[in-house]
């Protein structure tokens, strides 16, 4: 059995890539040529400041008008300024570099286009995978400096579990190819260590299992034994970035055995550009992963077909679509011709796409999902749809979305291990604690909310300035919500989320001229958030239905968020044929609303004001969790 072909002739970022500057201030003073910040005596004149700078051999790089600070550097040939320069210069500080919050400080992260494409960094706000384990069944991994092999520098902080070498029959699964190391780096490269690259699930543990030799070939027998070893040793996920055109009964049996005892199996679809998925990806119980390029289209090499489940970034090293100066592969640590010369290599292939899915499966396992069926369902239900609407043979269920997967409501009864960023209720809907922490959110001032289950949500949206009361002292949570009122609520939601609404929108409808909400209706119509009941009428006084509400929320979300809401699975039996069905499934999929029962949504039922407050509060919470907006 041969590994799926990858672009082993790869673009390389030198192993000596510069580390990101530390945010810790260096000692006072500066080395020759480095800019420094000086602070002057507030009473010193401009002439005195200039004279003291000249005496110290300093030239001004920049100034901060109205302050006592200036950015300076030593003139050519001048000595570095002393910390106690004296005169009008009262303080000298080095220039301090800061890192944007939420972005890993690994310097080559900026070339890892695949991580933003799947929303990986936002997912880490929920979990980094700590507590889960992924078996990498491959050519081995550069996991340790032992027996003449060296550990990959950017895996130094990665957790490893004991593995096995099924090729040589020993306990030392060292990599002799570089392929397996690249896979392990994709999953769990040491992240935020100031060197190299980031991983997709940096907290997960890697179990290295060598079933392929240095040429990338291995037998179905060895691979099957590795799959069973992973299951018996406690792995949550097994990654198989390998493939063949032939089905193997012994491998199918090992997969069925492992899946039955709780291992999620992920495999690459193959790199032959064929219209059938390779084995073992095509087997029952395996999540088959195809590839996409930077532009989210299928590269010519990626196998597709009826067995394809999902796609993830696999790259295309024949192009540079993102214009970063490098070929568009997946950048991770590996080695090429020498076992001791590590590189940050751009490789492409479905081999590179599969470990991203394995990593997100590990994130879900870290949240408490232990059933492979539940993990697979969550991965597929939270994808971003590509190609024709719904599942198709070229992209499966769509593009992997780590952020959507880890923030989606967990099945009822799941024992979670990391819930604080995404509290969820037993109804399958999300909480509002991230947008409106109970300890800091003011109590609502409306007198008609005593004992109402909607009080917290009303207080939340009132605090954010999204909703107002019927009167100064009442909210009327049980009152109906009109289409005109909803327009004002949603417009305010967009404004507090940073969306600039048109100040002079054209008049879109003929029947809202007397409505106090006309301006808001026209703003949202211009942005495509609302549409009329007919081409010229809006029906501002009509009651909003639950189905209409779903569509309003989806359109508003997609204006604010970096990525649209993923296509959800068909959850309800009573919305078939509704033009809003897809949007109902989307909002239910991310926990903005639930059905009126396990199988019904009541799409034509009216939405009450208290209910709408709850839907909007959950939307704010989703925005905060995914990083679309900042918490208050």
Where does 24-178 have alpha helices with state H? 46-55, 114-117, 120-123
- Cα distance between residue 616 and residue 304, in whole Å: 39
DSSP for 17-67, written as a single string: PPPPPPSSPPPSS--TT--EEEEE-TT--HHHHHHHHHHTTEEEEEE-TTS
Q: From CA 19, how far away is CA 109, in angstroms rounded?
A: 11
Q: Find where tokens 């199996």 sit.
A: 265
Residue 75 CA to residue 36 CA, distance in Å, equals 12
- The helix or strand, by DSSP H or E, that contains position 610, with its residue range, turns out to be helix 609-625
Report how far Cα 208 is from the mean position of its chain's Cα atoms.
25
- DSSP code at position 139: S
What span, in angstroms and rounded, lies between the C-alpha atoms of 246 and 328? 30
- 609: Cα separation from own chain's centroid: 33
Say which residue the tokens 């599969």 belong to. 354
Active site residue 517: no
For residues 483-504, one letter each, b for 16 or more C-beta atoms within 10 angstroms of the residue's C-beta and e for the rest, the string is bbbbbbbbbbbbebbebebeee
Please give the backbone phi and psi of residue 581, each rounded to the nearest 5 degrees, phi first: -55, -45
Are the CB atoms for 243 and 3 separated by under 8 Å? yes
Closest C-alpha to 165, from 225, 114, 112, 106: 225
- Closest C-alpha to 137, from 108, 97, 172, 166: 166
From the list 106, 128, 175, 179, the catalytic residue is 179
Catalytic choice (138, 220, 316, 512): 138
* Composition of the chain by helix, strand, coil, percent to 5: 25, 15, 60
Residue 377 known to be catalytic: no
Three-state SS for 375? helix
Please name the residue that has the structure tokens 């009864």: 413
Q: What would the two tokens of residue 551 be? A: 């569509």
Helix (H) or strand (E) holding 512: none
Task: Provide the b/e sequence for 514-546 (b: ≥16 CB within 10 Å).
Answer: ebebbbbbbbbbebebbbbeeeeebebeebbbb
The answer to whether residues 461 and 611 touch, using CB atoms and an 8 Å cutoff, is no
Catalytic residue (one of 241, 244, 351, 578): 351
Burial of 385 per CB tally in 10 Å (0-12, 13-18, 19+): buried
| C-alpha distance from residue 134 to each of 123, 184, 201, 410, 438 (Å) | 17, 9, 10, 21, 37
Within 8 A by CB and 6+ apart from 164, the residues are 170, 171, 173, 209, 210, 226, 229
Enter the tokens of residue 261: 């005892």
Q: Is 31 a catalytic residue?
A: no
3-state secondary structure of 220: helix
> Helix (H, G, I), strand (E, B), or coil: what is residue 378?
helix
CB atoms within 10 A of CB 413: 7
Site of tokens 């080395």: 31
Active site residues: 138, 179, 351
């Amino acid at each position: 059995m041969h590994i799926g072909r990858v672009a082993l002739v790869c673009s390389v970022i030198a192993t000596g890539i510069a580390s990101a500057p530390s945010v810790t201030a260096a000692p006072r003073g500066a080395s020759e040529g480095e800019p420094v910040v000086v602070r002057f005596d507030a009473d010193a004149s401009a002439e005195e400041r200039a004279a003291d700078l000249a005496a110290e051999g300093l030239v001004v790089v920049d100034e901060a008008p109205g302050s006592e600070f200036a950015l300076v550097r030593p003139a050519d040939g001048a000595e570095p300024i002393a910390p106690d320069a004296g005169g009008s210069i009262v303080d000298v500080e080095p220039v301090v570099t800061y890192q944007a919050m939420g972005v890993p400080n690994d310097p080559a992260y900026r070339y890892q286009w695949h991580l933003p494409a799947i929303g990986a960094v936002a997912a880490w706000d929920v979990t980094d995978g700590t507590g889960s384990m992924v078996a990498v069944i491959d050519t081995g991994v550069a996991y340790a400096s032992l027996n003449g092999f060296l550990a990959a520098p950017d895996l130094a902080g990665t957790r490893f579990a004991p593995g096995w070498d099924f090729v040589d029959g020993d306990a030392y699964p060292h990599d002799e190819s570089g392929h397996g190391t690249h896979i392990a780096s994709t999953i769990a490269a040491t992240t935020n260590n100031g060197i190299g690259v980031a991983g997709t699930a940096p907290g997960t543990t890697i179990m290295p299992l060598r079933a392929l030799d240095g040429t990338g070939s291995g037998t179905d027998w060895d691979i099957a034994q590795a799959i069973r070893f992973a299951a018996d040793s406690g792995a949550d996920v097994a990654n198989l970035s390998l493939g063949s055109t032939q089905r193997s009964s012994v491998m199918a049996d090992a997969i069925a055995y492992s899946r039955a005892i709780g291992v999620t199996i992920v495999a690459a679809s193959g790199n032959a550009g064929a219209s059938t998925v390779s084995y073992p990806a095509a087997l029952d119980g395996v999540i088959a992963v195809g590839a996409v390029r930077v532009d989210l289209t299928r590269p010519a090499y990626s196998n597709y077909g009826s067995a394809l489940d999902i796609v993830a970034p696999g790259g295309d090293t024949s192009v540079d679509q993102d214009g970063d100066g490098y070929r568009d592969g997946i950048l991770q640590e590996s080695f090429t011709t020498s076992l001791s010369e590590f590189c940050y290599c751009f490789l492409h292939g479905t081999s590179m796409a599969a470990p991203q899915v394995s990593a997100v499966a590990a994130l879900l396992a870290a949240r408490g999902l232990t059933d492979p069926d539940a993990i697979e369902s969550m991965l597929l239900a939270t994808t971003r749809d590509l190609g024709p609407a719904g599942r198709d043979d070229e992209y499966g269920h769509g593009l992997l979305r780590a952020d959507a997967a880890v923030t989606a409501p967990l099945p009822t009864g799941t024992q979670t291990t990391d819930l604080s960023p995404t509290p969820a209720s037993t109804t399958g809907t999300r909480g509002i604690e991230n947008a409106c922490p109970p300890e800091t959110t003011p109590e609502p001032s409306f007198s008609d909310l005593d004992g109402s289950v909607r009080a917290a949500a009303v207080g939340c949206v009132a605090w954010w300035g999204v909703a107002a009361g019927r009167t100064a002292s009442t909210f009327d949570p049980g009152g109906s919500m009109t289409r005109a009122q909803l327009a004002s609520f949603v417009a305010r939601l967009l404004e507090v989320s940073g969306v600039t609404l048109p100040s002079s929108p054209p008049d879109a409808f003929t029947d809202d001229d007397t409505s106090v909400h006309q301006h808001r209706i026209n703003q949202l119509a211009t942005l495509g958030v609302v549409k009329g009941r007919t081409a010229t009428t809006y029906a501002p006084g009509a009651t909003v239905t639950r189905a209409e509400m779903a569509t309003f929320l989806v359109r508003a979300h997609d204006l604010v968020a970096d990525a649209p809401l993923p296509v959800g699975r068909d959850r309800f039996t009573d919305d078939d044929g509704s033009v809003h069905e897809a949007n109902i499934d989307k909002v239910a999929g991310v926990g903005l609303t639930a059905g009126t029962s396990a199988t019904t949504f009541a799409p034509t039922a009216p939405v009450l004001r208290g209910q709408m407050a709850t839907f909007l509060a959950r939307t704010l919470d989703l925005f905060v969790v995914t990083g679309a907006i900042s918490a208050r």
